[in-house]
Amino acid sequence: MSQSSTTSSEDGSKRANSESVAVDSVIDFKGKHFGLESTSEDSDDYLVSGSEGTMIDVERFCHADYRIEQYAHSVLDFSSQYGIDLSISYTAPNITGRPSKYPEYGDFPQTFAMRTYGAWWERAPSRLKEIQPQNVSEIPAEDFIAIFETYNPGAVIRVWAYTIAKTWICLWEDKEFYTKPLYIPSRARRFTPPLKRIQLPTKTIRLEFNHQRLHYYTEIDAVLLSGKKFNTRNMQHLLDYYERQRKGSILCKLQNMKFRPICRDNYQNRLQHFLMHDLDKFISVLSDVQIQSIQHQQQQQVQSPSTGEIKISKIGLKNMPFEIMLKIFSYLDLKSLFRVGAVSRFLYDVSTHPLLYSELNLKPYWHLASTELLSTLAKRATILKKLDMSWCGCTVQTISPTEFKKFIQQRGDSLTHLRLNSTKFLNASCIDTLGIVCDNLKELSLRNCSPSPPLLNFSCLANLKNLERLDLFQTVIESDLLLTMLENNPKLKHLNLGKHNKEYEFTLYLITLYALPAFCSVAVNMDDVAQHIAKYNKQLISLDMWKAHFLSAQGLLVLSNCHNLEEIDFGWCLREASLGDSLREFLTQCTKLKKLFLAAVRGLTDRDLEYIANLCPNLEQLDLMGVLGISKERYIDILQKCAKLQLLDLCFCDNIMDYDVALWSRTFKVDIKSCQVPNDFR
Amino acid sequence: MHSLGWSSKLISRALRSGFSALLETTTNVTSNNGGSKSRPHFISVVCGFPKDFLTSKYKPGKYGEDSWFKTSTSNADVLGVADGVGGWRSYGIDPGEFSSFLMKTCERLVHCVNFNPQRPVNLLAYSYCELLEQKKPILGSSTACVLVLNRENSTVYTANIGDSGFMVVRRGEIVHKSEEQQHYFNTPFQLSLPPPGHDHNVLSDSPDSADTLSFPVKDGDVILVATDGVFDNVPEKLLLDMLKEVEGVTDPVKLQMTANSLALMARSLSFDSDFMSPFAINARRNNINATGGKPDDITVVLATVAI
């Protein structure tokens, strides 16, 4: 099985730019019959993708001889989006329907954009280490899927389709993602990857993105699916046909027959015994001609070892010391590990050794993760330390919460790292178990875990006391619970509260805009969080409050107590008109700052930028997107004084021209992002 | 001679700008006919002039600092106008940007899943919130008036902030009219987003302060939605006379001609320095000696109801 990792998993370190899967977000959408208003609104129509197979003639199941095209109808799920819930700017629902801005190129709010881009997040102090990195490896039509990218194309790496046989099949994968030259964009792109032919109709597509090689945010305007329309009346016939072809007629017959061989304990003689005693019975049950050919082959195999001379070498894999075998197997990904265990007893013993299962990453196998897999893993992983089950259980409930709960109860007490991003199978009792059993947890990541309707009750998480990293991006928990958790975990180093706002806060927004801030006690108040952090979590290294609403200048001031802060993201969060001296105080106290993101903090003034230039000598990444009214000299000042600066985002800032940006980029060797967007929003 | 040339240029430009709106209405009509015929729908046209008509380029969806939109879904028809407040030019902000964004976002929101045809004030509120989510900061302020025809119950729901407004004419009489909302003379209620630091000097009204009205409509009703460029320059009686004539008219060409003449009338009256316009009358009531019309952007959205 191919491997893409060149580092060992023992020491755990990994260079971020070689092969990490920074796959950040995924969209599922449901195709619908394209909206010609005169036709019926039948949402059961399917599409055939792949109509000329050699194995199945699906043609006869098709409705007619024409092809139709349809745009995405709805978004089923996503793991990351730039806009907030309920908004129509930069959010996932913008990918549905016809493209609205294509072929224009630029940063438009009418498209779908994701939260991150490029490798910058890997370079920040809060970078994550991938669990079991060797799992990430590759996989292996007139019908086409077209993706309309209107800004920085090139992020799509895999396209999956969900077939009516309830399986996900990967239609396309970008195998040269890391080796091909960087695609320098300047125009919008209608991307049509060559798709694998599959024999089944589909109407749900999943896109996987990896933004590591992107220059800036990528934005998608629409997705188009084209193929032949499929007649749903024939669906059952097609499914039967497909099952038969997949398993072969022999296997189908085998499944249906009532014969069961007698099994003895001594497995080495099982085959011979079967052939001697049970084969006749077996044949009498089956009447197919093809079976006789198998029988013939088996007889030959039985005879050849006794007649032929096979040279067995003296030293083979079986003679290797057990530890060497373990080391070799530690490079294998999970799928290969299971396969190699099916070869022989010895290899089975090696491949099921618990040391190989101390780190488990099921994210690349999201489409295969099931309850059975989980129970098998539970038997093997007795010293489980790190577990990543992100994306599992998406759209199809293949993992039962009870099984997961059992898994955690059995194996959870030694867990130190747990990632459950975008999982759909979590329920209240799972969270309870997590809180009670896993008290050694150092890292807990529950991104995007807010199912609609009701919020999960996360209250048992208050029991965790050793947390060093807590990631609640796009997940909302009760503010009291959050505060309690902050109090209980003094060793907290990395905290991510991005997009920490309840859905209905969009309407609460209205109240706060017009009422005085004193009235908005209903909202999750980041100021309280800031107070707690300043009091209890002084070791904090990175804090992410991107789009977590309602942090005020007071909160910023209070945060200056955390002297170890190296990374901070206040984008879209500091809404107050004027920051006063709070930024200066903050920067004076937190001298180790390497990453400072102040996107859309509209109250920044020239003076604040002066403070940034003078007080942040270690600054590596600075984001000033959307801040108006800053003079050019301040930017130059920052570029001159912050010698270690690598990234400067000046999109939507005024007073700068393209030639300025080019000149500065060259002179100071900094990656400067800027854009000029036309004024009218069509 | 000179004025003749000027007025003919005016007329031809009016027709040209009106023409593009006409093409949209014809497609509207045909697609409406494609749907069920017994449901009420609007036949709507637009016309207008920016204040600097002779020197500016035509941009679809805007007339100077005014902006408008009209759209329809399967269960509603929506019309809207917005008037950007011109005072922002002295702060270096383009006043038309705010109103344009407001209207375009309202249009997008109408096609969203959670559009409620009975609460047009939500359109304004959500549109305002969207403003805050834009990467590019949009500043300024504007009045707004949104009108929704709910096909299910043949009722019109409206939301109005400021001095733009609407008028409904049936059987030669004005049956519904919006009220101007003003803080003081020439200072209407407005939705605004000031630059940071200027929050306290700037009037900012919340969408809650919008006037909402709802009323049933009948076949043949004429609805006019316009900015203050029209209501301040054209006396009500004159408006009524023009609107009476298109009652029950379903021919979009005829409707377009009426809209064009309304806009033209407002434009000519606005530059007439001796005429006692409604604006002048109002000014006098507030102890300001003013005569003549008020040069301003003019936007006329004219619709008739057909059931």
CA–CA separation, B257 vs A546, rounded Å? 52
**CA dist list (Å): B123 to B42, B157, B165:** 19, 12, 16
Domain A490-681 adopts which CATH fold?
3.80.10
Residue B125 placed within a domain:
yes
For the cut 50, the answer to whether the pLDDT of residue A619 exceeds it is yes
Q: Give me A656's structure tokens.
A: 């700068």
DSSP assignment of A262-304: ---S-GGGHHHHIIIIIHHHHHHH---HHHHHHHHHHHHHHHH
Asked if A623 is an interface residue toward chain B (Cβ–Cβ < 8 A), one would say: no
Give the contacts of B282 (CB within 8 A, at least 6 positions apart): B185, B232
For the cut 70, the answer to whether the pLDDT of residue A364 exceeds it is yes
Residue B301 sits in a domain whose CATH number is 3.60.40.10
For the cut 50, the answer to whether the pLDDT of residue A500 exceeds it is yes
Contact A87 B105 (CB under 8 A): no
Choose, out of A623, A680, A682, the residue to mutate when testing the contact with B (most B CBs < 10 Å): A680
| Domain-wise residue ranges, chain A | 67-244, 357-477, 490-681
**CA dist list (Å): A386 to A13, A126, A411:** 14, 18, 11
Q: How confident is the model at residue A148 (pLDDT cuts 50, 70, 90)?
A: confident
CA–CA separation, B298 vs B276, rounded Å? 18
Q: Is A106 left (phi over 0), alpha (psi -120 to 50) or beta?
A: left
Nearest CA in chain A to B31: A37
**Helix (H) / strand (E) containing A527:** helix A526-536
Question: What mean pLDDT do residues B49-68 have?
Answer: 89
Give strand ranges (E) for A325-459: 359-361, 386-388, 417-419, 443-445
CA–CA separation, A283 vs A294, rounded Å? 11
Asked if the domains at A357-477 and A490-681 fall in one CATH topology, the answer is yes
Identify which of A109, A578, A628 has the shortest CB distance to residue B134: A109
CA–CA separation, B245 vs B241, rounded Å? 7
Identify which of A600, A605, A679 has the shortest CB distance to residue B135: A600
CA–CA separation, A474 vs A422, rounded Å? 10
Q: Which residues of B touch A99 (CB under 8 A)?
A: none
pLDDT tens-digit readout, A60-71: 555 556 677 888
Residue B9 placed within a domain:
no
Contact B129 A677 (CB under 8 A): no
Lowest mean pLDDT among A145-159, A208-222, A415-429: A145-159
Q: Which residues of A touch B59 (CB under 8 A)?
A: 680
Give the contacts of A647 (CB within 8 A, at least 6 positions apart): A120, A620, A621, A622, A623, A670, A671, A673
Q: Looking at CA atoms only, how far is residue A80 from chain B in angstroms?
A: 16
For the cut 50, the answer to whether the pLDDT of residue A33 exceeds it is no
Choose, out of B135, B189, B204, B208, the residue to mutate when testing the contact with A (most A CBs < 10 Å): B135
pLDDT tens-digit readout, A514-528: 433 333 333 457 888
CA–CA separation, B128 vs B145, rounded Å? 13
Find, among A102, A115, A109, A106, the residue nearest to A191 by Cα: A102
Find, among A366, A395, A56, A423, the residue nearest to A205 by Cα: A395
Residue B176 placed within a domain:
yes
For the cut 80, the answer to whether the pLDDT of residue A108 exceeds it is yes
Give the number of A-B residue pairs with CB atoms closer than 8 Å. 83
Does the global pTM surpass 0.90? no
Residue B79 placed within a domain:
yes
Contact B100 A680 (CB under 8 A): yes
* A402-407, long-range: CB < 8 A, 24+ apart: A403/A371, A403/A374, A403/A375, A404/A374, A404/A430, A405/A429, A405/A430, A405/A433, A406/A375, A406/A378, A407/A374, A407/A375, A407/A377, A407/A378
For residues B32 and B273, the answer to whether their CB atoms sit within 8 Å is: no
What's the number of domains chain B is made of? 1
Contact B137 A682 (CB under 8 A): no
Residue B3 placed within a domain:
no
Question: What mean pLDDT do residues B244-264 have?
Answer: 92
For residues A44 and A232, the answer to whether their CB atoms sit within 8 Å is: yes
Contact A90 B129 (CB under 8 A): no
CATH value of A67-244 in 1.10.8, 3.40.50, 2.60.120, 2.60.40 = 2.60.120
CATH value of A357-477 in 1.10.10, 3.80.10, 3.40.50, 2.60.40 = 3.80.10
What burial letters (b/e) apply to B26-59, b meaning 16+ CB within 10 Å?
A: eebbeebeeeeeebbbbbbbbbbbbbebeeeeee
Q: Looking at CA atoms only, how far is residue B227 from chain A in angstroms?
A: 20
Q: Looking at CA atoms only, how far is residue B137 from chain A in angstroms?
A: 6
Choose, out of B133, B139, B203, the residue to mutate when testing the contact with A (most A CBs < 10 Å): B133
Question: What mean pLDDT do residues B192-205 have?
Answer: 80
For the cut 90, the answer to whether the pLDDT of residue B299 exceeds it is yes
In the sheet that A647-649 helps form, which strands lie side by side, from edge to edge?
A359-361, A386-388, A417-419, A443-445, A469-471, A494-496, A542-544, A567-569, A595-597, A621-623, A647-649, A671-673
What's the one-letter identity of residue A457?
Answer: N
**Residue A265 has what pLDDT?**
59
**Residue B32 has what pLDDT?**
44
Cα-Cα end-to-end distance for chain B: 47
**Residue A22 has what pLDDT?**
35
DSSP assignment of A574-635: B--S--TTHHHHHHHH-TT--EEE-TT-TT--HHHHHHHHHH-TT--EEE-TT--S--HHHH
For residues A586 and A534, the answer to whether their CB atoms sit within 8 Å is: no
What burial letters (b/e) apply to A156-189, b meaning 16+ CB within 10 Å?
A: bbbbbbbbbbeebbbbbbbeebeeeeeeebeebb
Q: How confident is the model at residue A130 (pLDDT cuts 50, 70, 90)?
A: confident
**Residue A527 has what pLDDT?**
86
Q: How confident is the model at residue A259 (pLDDT cuts 50, 70, 90)?
A: low
Asked if A106 is an interface residue toward chain B (Cβ–Cβ < 8 A), one would say: no
**Residue A528 has what pLDDT?**
87
Parallel, antiparallel, or unpaired: how do β-strands A168-173 and A156-163 relate? antiparallel
Residue B17 placed within a domain:
no
Q: How confident is the model at residue B164 (pLDDT cuts 50, 70, 90)?
A: very high
Lowest mean pLDDT among A356-360, A615-619, B23-27, B99-103: B23-27
CA–CA separation, B116 vs B114, rounded Å? 6
Nearest CA in chain A to B92: A629
**Which chain B residues touch A if contact means CB-CB below 8 Å?**
31, 34-35, 59, 61-62, 94, 97, 100-101, 104-105, 108-109, 112-114, 125-126, 128-130, 132-137, 195-197, 199, 204, 206-208
Instruction: Give the residue numbers spanning the domain of B199.
Output: 39-306
> How far from the centroid of its chain's Cα atoms is residue A125's Cα?
20
Residue B207 placed within a domain:
yes
CA–CA separation, B174 vs B179, rounded Å? 13
Residue B97 placed within a domain:
yes
Assembly ipTM: 0.76
Q: What percent of chain A has pLDDT over 70?
A: 69
Identify which of B61, B133, B206 has the shortest CB distance to residue A87: B133
What burial letters (b/e) apply to A604-621, b meaning 16+ CB within 10 Å?
A: bbeebbbbbbebbeebbb
CA–CA separation, A200 vs A51, rounded Å? 9
Question: What mean pLDDT do residues B88-112 have?
Answer: 91
Identify which of B133, B137, B195 has the shortest CB distance to residue A83: B133
3-state secondary structure of A418: strand
Q: How confident is the model at residue A251 (pLDDT cuts 50, 70, 90)?
A: low
CA–CA separation, A284 vs A217, rounded Å? 66
3-state secondary structure of A507: helix
CA–CA separation, A587 vs A571, rounded Å? 16
Q: Which residues of B touch A89 (CB under 8 A)?
A: 130, 133-134
Q: Give me A330's structure tokens.
A: 């530690």
Q: Looking at CA atoms only, how far is residue B142 from chain A in angstroms?
A: 16
Q: How confident is the model at residue A219 (pLDDT cuts 50, 70, 90)?
A: confident
**Helix (H) / strand (E) containing A484:** helix A479-488
Q: Which residues of B touch A507 (CB under 8 A)?
A: 125
